[in-house]
């Protein structure tokens, strides 16, 4: 029989009870229903004891299945069901969580992948290629600030020198902490030796946004991941006494920033893009003074490189124009820039067919958040993803949730997808 969606829900709940802790906060739902007991937040911060415990439990769910289980030099946990050839399809996501996170972010993809693998074994499917479920190490970056640690090591985009001296809130260095988990930074990139054997990659994830819920949809195929242009805008005016300097004589960087923030939202609306002002700092930030300095971050996302370029140019125009009108000086620093990532068209078609068959609507959309699948796709591995809805669009909080029926629908669709990918992958190997 194919993958058992109810088994995945049961596994997710077992993992939740094993690796969560009570949190202060509003009551939560689990599977769309009020939960018993106090609110629980997942506590699977990477490179900690609960995370290790989650992995040990995860490995135990393959009892009786002839898998090979290994941890690679970057700390990724691989569970492989060998096929006729060593080349593999990778079903990967992450068991680590943010502090006080939800029960589905990452775990859904790993535990769904595991059940798909077990289902293939139970059914006795003759596998022309191998199937690997991978728990990527430290996807969240919640401890040291570097997301996608393990998948980036495999794709080769992890810069060792840039992460070595990152410190956590306790002041401990990344290099020292990962060593306690068997990862030596000097050899971590050898995890990439597996790269050439990966023939395709797939990931099931929760949306972490409100689009599906708002449209009454239960399932989506993803055709890529939005590119990101992230900036820090720094404005300098003149601090002065709030009661002594008439408004027309001021050079107020906070008012300039406020006007820019509104214009940046309009810019996003105009281009059907995501534009967000998140960080916002003012100085001296006292009630009795006009501020002398204000700075804010701008995060801009879109699937089109051309639109991203238009957003960057539009931001420059907004900042230049308003800074001149308000007589403040401005600088724009680049914090991050990543091109849009397109998934493999054949696999997107497969996923869209399945989404339509399972849910009645051919919903194809991009992901705004980053995922380990980005590291696969950007280095040329044929990749695809699927989403199930997030209630209220929330994630990275203990009240993250998805209706149980939608979780199960997602698992069934993901199973369909993998079964359709297997002959396709074999065909590409010739």
Q: How far is the CB of 140 from its own copies (least distance, A)?
A: 12
Q: Which of residues 322-341 bind its own copies (CB under 8 A)?
A: 335-336
Where on the phi/psi map is residue 217: left (φ > 0), alpha (ψ -120 to 50), or beta? beta
- Number of Cβ within 10 Å of residue 391's Cβ equals 17
Nearest residue (CB) to its own copies, 185 versus 225:
225
Number of H helices, E strands in the chain: 12, 19
- Which of 29, 61, 190, 276 lies at the binding interface for its own copies (CB under 8 A)? 276
**Per CB under 8 A, does 76 bind its own copies?**
no
Q: How far apart are CA 76 and CA 427, in angstroms?
A: 28
C-beta of residue 75 within 8 angstroms of C-beta of residue 182: yes
Q: Which one of 25-33, 39-47, 273-281, 407-415 is the stretch in contact with its own copies (CB under 8 A)? A: 273-281
SS3 content of the chain, % helix, strand, coil (to 5): 40, 25, 35
Quick check: helix, strand or coil at residue 322?
helix
Nearest residue (CB) to its own copies, 2 versus 210:
210
3-state secondary structure labels for all residues of 256-289:
HHHHHHHHHHHHHHHCCCEEEEEEEEEECCCCCE
Nearest residue (CB) to its own copies, 392 versus 428:
392
* Helix or strand holding residue 240 (H, E): strand 240-241
Nearest residue (CB) to its own copies, 16 versus 301:
301
Q: Which of residues 360-419 bind its own copies (CB under 8 A)?
A: 367-370, 392-396
**Per CB under 8 A, does 25 bind its own copies?**
no
What is the CA angle 258-302-316, rounded to 5? 40
* Helix or strand holding residue 229 (H, E): strand 227-236
Q: How far is the CB of 130 from its own copies (least distance, A)?
A: 33
Q: Which one of 164-172, 174-182, 253-261, 417-425 is the stretch in contact with its own copies (CB under 8 A)? A: 253-261
Q: Which one of 38-46, 78-86, 96-104, 268-276 is the stretch in contact with its own copies (CB under 8 A)? A: 268-276
- Number of Cβ within 10 Å of residue 199's Cβ equals 22
- Which of 34, 37, 124, 278 lies at the binding interface for its own copies (CB under 8 A)? 278
- Which of 53, 181, 195, 259 lies at the binding interface for its own copies (CB under 8 A)? 259
Q: Which two tokens stand for residue 357?
A: 């068959």
**Per CB under 8 A, does 312 bind its own copies?**
no
Q: How far is the CB of 278 from its own copies (least distance, A)?
A: 5
The residue count for binding its own copies (CB under 8 A) is 63
**Per CB under 8 A, does 246 bind its own copies?**
yes
Q: How far apart are CA 399 and CA 189, in angstroms?
A: 36
- Which of 66, 124, 248, 430 lies at the binding interface for its own copies (CB under 8 A)? 248
Whether a cis peptide bond, with omega within 30° of 0, leads into 284 is yes
Nearest residue (CB) to its own copies, 157 versus 238:
238
Q: Which one-letter DSSP state was computed for residue 103?
A: S
Nearest residue (CB) to its own copies, 2 versus 369:
369
Where on the phi/psi map is residue 380: left (φ > 0), alpha (ψ -120 to 50), or beta? left
**Per CB under 8 A, does 257 bind its own copies?**
yes
Nearest residue (CB) to its own copies, 151 versus 291:
291
Q: How far apart are CA 356 and CA 364, in angstroms?
A: 10
Q: Which two tokens stand for residue 338?
A: 């990543």
Q: How far is the CB of 409 from its own copies (least distance, A)?
A: 20
Q: How far is the CB of 44 from its own copies (least distance, A)?
A: 19
Q: How far apart are CA 317 and CA 338, in angstroms?
A: 21
- Which of 35, 208, 359, 383 lies at the binding interface for its own copies (CB under 8 A)? 208
Alpha helices in 123-272 (DSSP H): 149-155, 160-163, 174-179, 211-215, 253-270
Q: Which one of 79-87, 153-161, 288-296, 373-381 is the stretch in contact with its own copies (CB under 8 A)? A: 288-296
Binding site for its own copies (CB under 8 A): 207-211, 214, 226, 228, 230, 238, 240-249, 252, 254-255, 257-259, 261-262, 265, 268-269, 274-282, 284-291, 294, 297, 299, 301, 335-336, 367-370, 392-396
């Amino acid at each position: 029989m194919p993958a058992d969606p109810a088994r995945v829900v049961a596994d997710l709940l077992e993992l939740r009870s094993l690796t969560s802790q009570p949190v202060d906060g509003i009551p939560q739902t689990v599977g769309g229903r009020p939960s018993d007991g106090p609110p629980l937040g997942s506590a699977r911060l990477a490179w900690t004891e609960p995370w290790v415990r989650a992995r040990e439990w995860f490995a135990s769910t393959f009892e009786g299945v002839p898998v090979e289980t290994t941890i690679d030099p970057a700390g990724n946990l691989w569970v492989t069901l060998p096929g006729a050839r060593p080349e593999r399809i990778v079903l990967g996501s992450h068991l680590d969580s943010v502090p006080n996170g939800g029960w589905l972010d990452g775990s859904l993809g790993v535990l769904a992948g595991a059940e798909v693998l077990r289902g293939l074994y139970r059914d006795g499917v003759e596998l022309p290629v191998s199937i690997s479920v991978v728990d990527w190490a430290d996807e969240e970056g919640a401890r040291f600030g570097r997301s996608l640690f393990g998948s980036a090591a495999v794709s080769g985009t992890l810069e060792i020198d840039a992460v070595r001296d990152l410190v956590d809130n306790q002041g401990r260095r990344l290099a020292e902490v990962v060593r306690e988990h068997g990862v030596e930074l000097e050899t971590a990139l050898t995890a990439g030796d597996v790269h050439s054997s990966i023939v395709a990659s797939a990931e099931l994830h929760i949306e972490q946004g409100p689009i599906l819920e708002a449209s009454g949809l239960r399932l989506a195929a993803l055709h890529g991941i939005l590119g990101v242009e992230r900036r820090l805008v720094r404005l300098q005016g003149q601090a002065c006494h709030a009661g002594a300097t008439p408004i027309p004589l001021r050079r107020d960087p906070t008012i300039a920033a406020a006007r820019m923030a509104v214009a940046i939202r309009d810019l996003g609306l105009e281009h059907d893009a995501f534009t967000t002002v998140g960080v916002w700092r003012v100085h001296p930030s006292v009630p009795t003074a006009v501020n002398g300095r204000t700075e804010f971050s701008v995060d801009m996302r879109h699937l089109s490189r051309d639109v991203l370029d238009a957003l960057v140019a539009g931001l420059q125009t907004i900042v230049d124009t308003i800074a001149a009108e308000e007589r403040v000086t401005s600088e724009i620093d680049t914090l991050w820039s990543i091109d849009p990532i397109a998934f493999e068209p054949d696999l997107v078609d497969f996923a869209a067919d399945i989404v339509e068959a399972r849910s009645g609507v051919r919903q194809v959309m991009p992901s705004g958040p980053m995922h380990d699948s980005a590291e696969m796709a950007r280095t040329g591995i044929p990749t695809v993803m699927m989403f199930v809805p997030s209630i209220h669009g929330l994630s990275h909080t203990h009240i993250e949730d998805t209706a149980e029926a939608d979780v199960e629908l997602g698992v069934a669709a993901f199973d369909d997808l993998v079964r359709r990918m297997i002959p396709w992958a074999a065909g590409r190997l010739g």
